Amino acid sequence: MPSIETSIWLALKARAEALVLSPVLPIAWPNLSFTKPATGYLRVTHVPNLNRRLFLGSTGPHQRLGLLQIDVFGKKNENIAVAVEVAGKVAAHFPTDLQMRHGDVAVRVIAAPNVAQPIDDDTHIMVPVTVPYECFA
């Protein structure tokens, strides 16, 4: 049986894998080799945050907070609205109160994902999408 931390990641990853975009964008996953295409792609990062003890019992569940970061990389010199639209679709795939499960562990989106300001770099434009979640386990 996987740890709570692994179960949280697997629940989040399964939901990200279920994202259907047209055209399909390759995904850069943590700790896996990836060659950046000149066209668009997504980059997924899991950012666990605080564990909070809310109950007095030593065996009570903890509130586990974190962020799923999905960065949308758009093609350089393309209308910025294209990457922003993809970011909006990514955000819509993680609606508030969405519950994701892996085994006995449930992970819930606690607020609308944040679509941040586009960031320009040498090869792409990046639009960060941040999905806040919690898990009681």
The model's pLDDT over 78-108, given as tens digits with 9 standing for 90+, comes to 999 999 999 999 999 999 999 999 999 999 9
The pLDDT of residue 53 is: 87
By three-state DSSP, how is residue 11 classified? helix
* Total-model pTM: 0.94
The percentage of the chain sitting over the pLDDT mark of 70, rounded to a whole number, equals 100
The pLDDT of residue 55 is: 78
Average pLDDT over residues 45-71: 91
> What six digits make up the tokens of 47?
């950012």
Q: Residues 116-122: contacts with CB within 8 Å, 24+ apart? A: 118/74, 118/80, 118/83, 118/84, 122/76
Q: Which amino acid is at 78?
A: E
pLDDT at residue 57 tops 90: no
H-helix or E-strand spanning residue 82: helix 80-92
**CA 101 – CA 58 distance, rounded (Å):** 24
Name which residue leads in pLDDT, 16 or 54. 16
Average pLDDT over residues 24-45: 96
From the list 52, 77, 24, the residue with the least C-alpha distance to 137 is 52
Summarize pLDDT for 113-136 with one digit per residue, the tens.
Answer: 999 999 998 999 999 999 999 999
The pLDDT of residue 109 is: 98
The pLDDT of residue 60 is: 83
By three-state DSSP, how is residue 96 classified? coil
By three-state DSSP, how is residue 65 classified? strand
